[in-house]
Structures are given as C-alpha cells and as structure tokens.
Chains A and B, each alone.
Chain A
Amino acid sequence: MNDSPGKKIMRIIILCFLILKTVTGGLVEARDTFLEVVVTDPFIEMHTGPASGYPVFHVVERGEKITVIVRKTDWFKIRTSKNKEGWAHRNELVQTLTLDGKETEFRDVTFEGFKKRRWEVGLMTGDFEGAASLTLFGTYYLTPTLSTELSATHAIGNFSSSLMANVRIAAHPFPEWRISPFMALGSGYIQTTPNATLVRTVDRDDPLAHVSFGANIYISKRFIFRMEYNNYKIFTSRDNNEEIEEWKAGFSAFF
C-alpha cells in the first residue's frame, strides 16, 4: 500500500522548510551588517509587535540613528542607539536616509511587481468531473508572456480518488492587464485509487495531456486570484480514452 497523501504532505512540509532555509540562508549571512538609517520624519512610533494592534511603547525622534534588523510582512524590527528594540511600519520608514544621506527604499509590492513577477506559488480548488479537487502549483515566468508550471492535484470523489501531477507551458498575451488571460498546454500522470468501502478494483496509472484556459486577476500586495478551465485527455490502457473537464479557482502569491 502506498503512503497516504497526509504523510506525503508532512514530508513535503519538511522538504519545503529545508529548501526555503537554504534559499533564505544566504540572507542570514548579511545579518552581521544590518542596515542603519537616520529618521527624517518628526517621529517614528515603535510597537511591541509586528502589527498595528500591538501597543506603542517608544518614539524615535527626527535625527536619531536606527538599525533595521528584520522584516515581517510590512513591519520592520528596529533598534535605537539606546538599544531599544521595537517594530515600525514600512510607511514610517519610507522617509529615512542612510548614514551618507541617500534615500532608502523599503520595497512595497504593487501592480508593477505583478507585471514583473518571476515566481508564483498558489493553490486552487474546484470541480474535477464531479469530484472535489485540490491543486498546489508553482510557476516560473521565463518572460512576462511565457511561463512554465508544475502542479499536483488531488481529486477526491465518492467512489475513487486521484492523484495527478502535471507540467505545462502557458502563454500570457496581455501581461500588463490587471485581468490577464492565459492559455496552456501540458501533460502529466494520473493515479486513480478506488475507495476501500467499494468492491476492490485495481489502481490505475495513466499518462494524460491537457489544454487549459483561464485568467490571473491581480488583487493587491502579493495576491493573485486565478480561475481556469482544464480539459484532460487520459490515455487509458482500455479501449477508449477518457476525457475529463475541470473548473477551478484559487489564490496565489508572487515573488
């Protein structure tokens, strides 16, 4: 018996951690040389935590030198010259200058970022010919108009469930539009397992190909809403090939 999807996901979580750790590991090196800036606003409020709900406990005045240590979403952990540590919002730090008088930029993610995105990770849910489907996908943009994508889908039906892996190439003819349509071609593999409470039939492994239409809709910050239609052709070992239609929608974040 194969491992259940839950166990696989647990392993994926640990793998993700290791990958992300190595990716962000390069930045850890830079921790020794923190960014130092001078406050030019009348004052900056320091919160005890990285959200507006946390209380303000200290105020940094104009002209004071602060060290920026780490970022969490839109909040920056700063240290004053008197060694007080707290969190300030990005908006308050935009006006700061570096020690040699240059402007600093604390990057905000906007629509411009959406147009220039390289990586996208997201999840979708929908209807896979009557079964509920869950999809996790990762996309890499070769150019703004051309992307490659790897996805894993779990379709959970009343009588059987399927695990499917796909790779595809997508064309985005209007990357500068807020609602950007795309079309894709891809192929993959599907493994179908009947539910145990039914009469036992054998598991099936089949290759498949698909064609897909959809649109990416930029919401705000790093968020994209995606909806798409997929038409799968499953090349079974039986006499007839199987055709499956899937509708799904979901969210993704880009980097």
Chain B
Amino acid sequence: MESRLFRLFLTGTYKTLFGLLVIISSNSQAAEPASNPLEKKTEQIILPELDRREIKQATVDADDFEIGGFAGVLSIEDFGVNAVYGARLAYHVTEDIFAEISAGQSKASETSFEVLSGGLQLLTEDERKLTYYNISLGYNLFAGESFFGKRAFNSDLYVIAGIGNTNFANSDHFTWNVGVGYRFIPRDWFTIHVDVRDHIFNSDILGADKQTHNLELTAGFTFFF
C-alpha cells in the first residue's frame, strides 16, 4: 500500500517537474530572441570600460632626495665670527614639507677678553673646535618664480626649525635651530641655497649657565636625486 502511494507520488512529481521544465525552456527560448538586440546595445556601451580593466603600474624615477654642501660664517657667541662649512641631506615628503639632516663645523676665535689681556687663553686649540648636527623640518612658504634678467627660474622661500647637538669646548649642548632659507632652482636637479639660521643652546663655558644665540649665514648648492 505504502509503496503504491509512493509510486503515485513520484510519477506525479516527475510529471510536474517535466511540465515546469517545458514551460521554463519555452519561456527562455521565447525570451532570448526578444532580449538579444537590447543586450547587444548595452554591451557596446559597457565594453570599452571593461577593456581597460588591466592596470599598468607606472614606474617613474622619484627625485625626492636633495644632497649638498654649504659654507659661510657662524657667529659663536663671545667667540667672534668664524668660517663654517658642512653638508646637508633632505627628503621632500610633500610639495610643502621636507625633513633635513645637516652637520657643520667651525673653529672659535678669541674672545675680546683674551685679545685685550694679551696671551691669556680660555680654551685650548682642541677645545675651540665646534661641530654641530641637527634634524629639522622645513616648510616651503613661497614657491614661485624669480626673474634673472628676462629669464624666469623656479625658487622657494622656506622656513625651517629643528633640534640637534653642538659640540663646543669638548662638551655637548642640546641645540635648537630656527631659520629661513632661499632655494634658487636653475635646473630641476640642481639648486643654490642661501640660509640664515640661529643655533640656540645653553652654555657655561664662561662660568654662569646662559642661553647663547649663534647666528649663521651660509650659501651652498644641492642636487636632487
């Protein structure tokens, strides 16, 4: 009894399924020719975009580093104005901001007291050596053109500030620096710099601990690479 009922049920299901299949297939057959011209039209609109899916990564040499040397004068507080020279390396993070690491060296001359006293020396030859390094952040304030005769050249006026160390009289001094610089750019890979920088540190060389301002004026050149 059970098996007979089951068979009836199965044949019933087969018939319905077959019927459904026929309906679906006839439907799709009927629908296809009607929708074809429409589909072709939309395909043509979309196709050009589909073609461009492949992306080519552009490999372009980046010239974000700048390296160079500079020379000028450094006024060491109480120890006269002296020649200074050094090197700098900068990394340009954005069109406005750059990070710079620079180092320089100079040699202190005699204080007025030493000159007037005749022969008395506050520091030995070795102690007169001054070397410094600093790490600074710069901001290109005025990017624009400078005119030299009738020709226009690119230039930047930047402000810069940072921290570092000054080794003077054989001891280290934590040093702040602030300054303004002008970058003249005759070629995209070659620049000329003029810099004014104040190196500020506390010193007790002449007894009492005091803050010293050491102004520096330098000119130099750099290369972008």
Contacts and interface: CB of A to CB of B under 8 A. Distances in A.
Interface of A: 1, 4-7, 9-10, 13-14, 16-17, 20-21, 24, 27-28, 30-31, 35, 37, 48-55, 68-77, 97-98, 101-107, 123, 125, 132, 134, 136, 154, 156, 161, 193, 195-197, 221-223, 251, 253
Given A28-B61, A53-B142, A102-B52, A5 B171 contact: no
Given A51-B143, A134-B164, A223-B93, A35 B54 contact: no
Contacts of B132: 6
B92 to A, nearest CB: 5
Interface residues of B, number: 64
Interface in B162-188: 163-167, 169-174, 185, 188
A72 B89 CA distance: 16
A34 to B, nearest CB: 8
A10 B172 CA distance: 16
A118 to B, nearest CB: 16
23 contacts: A5-B172, A6-B131, A9-B103, A9-B133, A13-B87, A49-B185, A53-B143, A54-B145, A68-B58, A70-B60, A70-B61, A70-B62, A71-B60, A71-B64, A73-B95, A74-B94, A97-B52, A102-B54, A103-B54, A104-B55, A106-B58, A154-B172, A197-B169
A200 B99 CA distance: 37
B62 A72 contact: yes
A50 B171 contact: no
B126 A1 contact: yes
A69 B135 CA distance: 31
A55 to B, nearest CB: 7
A112 to B, nearest CB: 14
B122 to A, nearest CB: 11
B212 interface: no
Interface string B188-225: 10000000000000001100000000000000000011
B167 A105 contact: no
A105 B56 contact: yes
Given A24-B225, A54-B145, A98-B56, A6 B104 contact: yes
A6 B133 contact: yes
Nearest to B65: A20
Given A13-B88, A134-B164, A24 B58 contact: no
Contacts, number: 179
B87 A102 contact: no
B145 A55 contact: yes
B172 A161 contact: yes
A72 B64 contact: yes
Contacts of A222: 93
Given A5-B167, A156-B173, A196-B169, 8 more contacts: A50-B95, A51-B143, A54-B143, A70-B61, A103-B56, A106-B58, A132-B174, A134-B135
B55 A102 contact: yes
In this complex, the member of B102, B104, B127, B143 whose beta carbon has the largest number of chain A beta carbons within 10 angstroms is: B143
Interface string B129-148: 10111010000101111000
Contacts of A5: 131, 133, 165, 167, 172
Contacts of A6: 103-105, 131-133, 165-167
A30 B61 CA distance: 8
B87 A161 contact: no
A54 B172 contact: no
A70 B60 CA distance: 6
Nearest to A76: B60
A104 B103 contact: no
